[in-house]
Amino acid sequence: MSVRSNRIRRVLTRCLCAMLLVVFGGGMAPAAFAQSGADPSEVPDLVGVWDGGGRVRPVNGPNMPWVPGENFPVLNERGLAHQAVFDEAIASKYDCVPSASPALQYDPYMMDVTQWPDRVLFRYEKDDQIRTVWLDGREPPLNEFTVQGFSVGRYEDGALLVETVQFVFDITGFDDYNGIPSSQQKRVTERYWRDGEELRMTLTVEDPMFLREPVSYTTRWLPGPEGYKLQLYACSAEEAGHPRKFLIPKYH
Q: What is the pLDDT, as a whole number, of residue 120?
A: 98
In a domain, 162, yes or no: yes
In a domain, 17, yes or no: no
Instruction: Report the C-alpha gap between 204 and 187 in whole angstroms.
Output: 8
DSSP summary character for residue 244: G
In a domain, 127, yes or no: yes
Q: What is the pLDDT, as a whole number, of residue 28?
A: 44
Question: Three-state DSSP class for 164?
Answer: strand
Predicted TM-score (pTM) of the model is 0.83
In a domain, 196, yes or no: yes
Q: What angle do CA 81, 87, 88 make, to 5 degrees?
A: 135
Q: Residues 32, 43: contact at Cβ < 8 Å? A: yes
Per-residue confidence in pLDDT tens, the chain, 252 aa: 443 444 434 434 444 444 443 444 444 444 444 445 778 878 999 999 999 999 999 999 999 999 999 999 999 999 999 999 999 888 888 889 999 999 999 999 999 999 999 999 999 999 999 999 999 999 998 889 999 999 999 999 999 999 999 999 999 999 989 999 999 999 999 999 999 999 999 999 999 999 999 999 999 999 999 999 999 999 888 888 888 888 888 776
Domain of 202 in residue numbering reads as 42-246
Q: What is the pLDDT, as a whole number, of residue 159?
A: 98
Q: What is the pLDDT, as a whole number, of residue 36?
A: 55
Q: Residues 186, 168: contact at Cβ < 8 Å? A: no
Number of domains in the chain: 1
In a domain, 25, yes or no: no
Residue 108 CA, chain-centre distance (Å), reads 12
Question: Three-state DSSP class for 9?
Answer: helix
In a domain, 52, yes or no: yes
In a domain, 154, yes or no: yes
In a domain, 27, yes or no: no
Closest CA to 107 of 129, 87, 89: 129
Q: Are strands 129-134 and 119-124 parallel, antiparallel or unpaired?
A: antiparallel
Q: Residues 210, 79: contact at Cβ < 8 Å? A: yes
Instruction: Report the C-alpha gap between 211 and 45 in whole angstroms.
Output: 34
For 14, 43, 109, the CA distances from 20, given in Å and listed in that order, are 10, 20, 27
Instruction: Report the C-alpha gap between 183 and 78 in whole angstroms.
Output: 11
Q: What is the pLDDT, as a whole number, of residue 90?
A: 87
Contacting residues for 168 by C-beta, under 8 A, at least 6 apart: 145, 146, 147, 184
Question: Cis link prior to 102 (omega < 30° from 0)?
Answer: yes
Instruction: Report the C-alpha gap between 171 and 89 in whole angstroms.
Output: 11
Instruction: Report the C-alpha gap between 171 and 150 in whole angstroms.
Output: 19
CATH number of 198's domain: 2.40.128.20
